[in-house]
Structure 1
Amino acid sequence: MSENLPAPVITGGFSETRPATPEVQHIVDEVKQDFQERTNMTFSMFKAISYRSQVVSGTNYIIKVQASETEYFHLKVFQSLPQEDQGPKLVSFQTGKTKDDPLIPF
């Protein structure tokens, strides 16, 4: 019996906050350009810190991103199902966040 099983995913509900994975960083990298265009800002750092996910017909992500020593953003990103062959889409975002702000669905 394995004790390291992942927490069950509840369809329709957001997961608990988890540390960012390489896959989540890849999603952030994919939407960085769109974020920069929509905010009229540019960042050399754009690091995924933590995330929550929601399984729907695809996956919604709420991702905490660090853009500087003190600047954090929360991104809401939708990733369609693999067979739809579409990249992640930046749905919305929140600026003015801190490292300690909880990831709350928005």
Structure 2
Amino acid sequence: MSAKGICCGGISQAKDVTPEVQQIVDSVKSEIEEKAEKTFDVFVVKVYKSQVVAGTNHYFKIHVGGNDYLHAKVFEQLPCHGGKKMLSGIQSNKSEDEELIYF
């Protein structure tokens, strides 16, 4: 286990959201809306986790209005490979209380 509490390949504990974390999600918002087949006026990350692989998988719980949430997974390449962020998948129809887990 690393000093940050993450095993290589393991998913982290929930972390506090920072402006940089929100910016990652905002950068793939149009892709998320396309996959969800709807647009979101509200789009706020409430919780996130990460997984160190050959880059980083980021898992986000996103409030999209009312009682609606979705989970999104974004892969971020290592900086030496360009650091590009790519949407890997979403899970719709989530609740505020539903745990953010690997998918």
TM exceeding 0.5: yes
The residue identity in structure 1 corresponding to 2:92 is: T
- Normalising by structure 2, report the TM-score: 0.90
For 1:55-90, what per-residue CA distance to the aligned partner results, in whole angstroms no more than 9, with x for missing partners?
A: 011000111001102110000110001122243111
Q: How does 1:4-83 map to 2 (within 5 A)?
A: 7-83=4-80
Deviating above 3 A after TM superposition, structure 1's stretches of 4 or more consecutive aligned residues are none
Give the secondary-structure state (helix, strand or coil) at the position aligned to 2:27.
helix
| Rounded Cα–Cα distance in structure 2 between residues aligned with 1:96 and 1:40 | 13
Aligned 8 A contact 2:35 2:90 in 1: no
Aligned to 1:93: 90
Give the secondary-structure state (helix, strand or coil) at the position aligned to 2:28.
helix
- Normalising by structure 1, report the TM-score: 0.88
Cα RMSD for the two superposed structures? 1.3
Kindly name which structure, 1 or 2, has the bigger radius of gyration based on alpha carbons: 1
Runs (5+) with no aligned partner, structure 2: none
For 1:33-74, what per-residue CA distance to the aligned partner results, in whole angstroms no more than 9, with x for missing partners?
A: 001112220011111111110001100011100110211000
Runs (5+) with no aligned partner, structure 1: 1-5
Give the secondary-structure state (helix, strand or coil) at the position aligned to 1:15.
coil
Q: Percent of counterpart pairs with the same letter?
A: 40
Number of corresponding residues: 101
Aligned 8 A contact 1:30 1:87 in 2: no
